[in-house]
Amino acid sequence: MIHLRMALVLAASLGLSSVALAQDLPDAKQITLDAPIASVTLYRERAMITRGCALPNEQGTFEVRIEGLPESIDAGSLSARVEGGKLLDVRYETTTTAVDVSTSPELKEALAQLERLQRVMEKLSLSMAKINDQNALLNSIAAKTATESAKDFGSKALDPAALAQQVLFLETARTALIEQRLANEAEQRTVAAELKAVGDRVNALGGKRLVARAAIVSVGKPTLGSTTLAFSYLVDGASWSPDYAIRALDTNDDASDRLTVEFSARIAQRTGEDWSGVSVTLSTAEPTRRPAPNEIPAEFLEIAPEEEKWAEGGEQFFDRAKAGSAEDKKDASLGRRSRKLAEKSDAEYGGVIGDAGEDPQLGERVQLGIELQRLYADAAVDGGAVVTYALPRAVTIPSDRSRTRTQRIATIELTPEFSHVARPIVDPVVYLRAKARNTSGYRLLEGRARLFVGEDSVGEVTFPTVIPGAEVNFWLGGDARLESKRVLVSKETKEDGVFGKSLVTTWKWRIDLTSAIAGSTKVELDDRIPVSRNEAIKVELRDLSLPLSTDEAYLKGERTRGILRWTLELTGLSKEGKPSERSISWTVRESHSEGVEIRAQSH
């Protein structure tokens, strides 16, 4: 059996009604306390608010009421903890009361105006109904006139003059009704706009009825001494995203080169309650997302009947995406289940709390609470799948729907290695790159980054996720002081061979580099050579004026895809101020049997 004390604690964390608990508690002293926001844990799309207060230095049982909770609260997430006492119960309560308009002349006037406009709208609706009735009557008269005229057509009973008068009457009456309808609809649109404006004003002044949201926490104090109460809840309407400003200083002096990463957070705060002088922790945890990966489904192979064999390149035999769908749906519904359970009525969960095994619904709530607590606990993890960032100082962030705010998390100084990258086969611009290792203790998350070189802004990029100790390339835009140009020196196609004729095409390429930088600079130069996927096609690289890079990662990666890479030092301006020049050349020879059609594809 679950011990009563444990059941009480679990009940408190899950927001259970205290109707049953109140039967077992001694007379509690009811007090209302002010519990200001002490800290905020800001997730990517929600926030956990923690409030705190001190209880009177008295013995006894207290029912503490904390009012002023926001409309954006997730009531099912309410939890509390007590130091220096015993937590007996916690619940969320809303009370609705009529507004005393006698204390607010402005609200009284707005309500009177709202009532007047509502009567005008009712009158317009009745008038429109009358217009519709009149239109229906005219349609009936027109139908009857048409029927009678058809019967008398061609006979002496038909009176053309009388028929013309009836048609004229119907046309005049319908025209008048159309004008009345248009005028009525226009007036209704005007009144509807005024109703909305006055209704918004009434709501801003407190509305016809006030809704108070409060947390009720029951605390037992068996002895004298200080007792503090803290309670937390989730709210919607708050979010954050990483934001970077990357500043590079390239002085051509290794001792002076610096790369500064200003790591900030863009915070949106629309919860309805202001955060004043609070400590804020930014977290990548997502309480509603599953904390563990899917299980790997088993895969079974069997001989398929001849008529069920699939064509080569068709669909796979097993749909792996569906294999774990049942588990996904189960975990994805966890948040919805918690909310539905927390909102069940007191009557449905009435009675004395005892063994969870005797109350299936309570047992489900207890188990669900344990699962939810495990999910929410991820917010405190620093490292691994979840990362948290504590802002260096207390901040004030008012609730504001019109703007977001930027808060600096840290300024990280890195020691970069600057170089230039030229890829004239795709772009004649030579780009500046800084390679640096993340020597800070921060895990830098993917986000928007604004780039600066000296005092110049060079645009925005998406900054990748970088763990501590990892290297990352910072692309700092084009450098106008360098130029690259790719030149086709010659192209020749001829037959080769005595017995088996082959077509041989030879390209001679050259890349010209120019630098107007004061000192020497390192340049990484990239080009490509076609890669044969058929033994009937032979591609050769010849006559390199400079050997290719020997970097191991390049040889195992890009080189296998036909990328040519040279790493060279390019001298700068001469003493006379003339730009330095350097050229790289090579030859590509491709041959295939005569009559074979070659098709080139880029990937």
pLDDT of residue 4: 31
pTM of the model as a whole:
0.51
Give the pLDDT confidence of 475-486 residue by residue, as tens digits: 887 888 899 999
Tokens of 474: 């910072």
Q: pLDDT (tens digit, 9 = 90+) per residue, 570-582?
A: 888 888 889 999 9
User: What's the pLDDT at 327?
Assistant: 42
Structure tokens at 185: 């609809």
Neighbours of 63 (CB within 10 A): 19
C-alpha radius of gyration, the chain, whole number: 39
C-alpha distances out from residue 423 to 249, 263, 460, 462, 480, Å: 23, 31, 21, 21, 15
| Total length of the chain | 603
Give which of 501, 279, 311 is closest to 397, Cα–Cα: 279
Burial group, residue 97, by CB count within 10 angstroms (0-12, 13-18, 19+) = exposed
Which residue numbers in the chain have pLDDT < 50? 1-25, 254-255, 288-294, 296, 298-384
Residue 420, strand partner residues: 432, 523
Q: Given the structure tokens 């019967």, which residue do they identify?
A: 151
Closest residue by Cα to residue 91 from 104, 78, 82, 108: 78
Element (H, E) at 239: strand 238-249
End-to-end CA distance of the chain: 65
Q: Work out the widest C-alpha separation in the chain, in whole angstroms.
A: 119
3-state secondary structure of 497: coil
Side-chain-side CA neighbours of 515 within 13 Å: the count stands at 24
Beta pairing, strands 29-32 & 60-67: parallel
Tell me the C-alpha distance between 472 and 246, whole Å: 13
pLDDT of residue 14: 35
For 159, half-sphere exposure in the C-beta direction (CA atoms, 13 angstrom radius) is 7
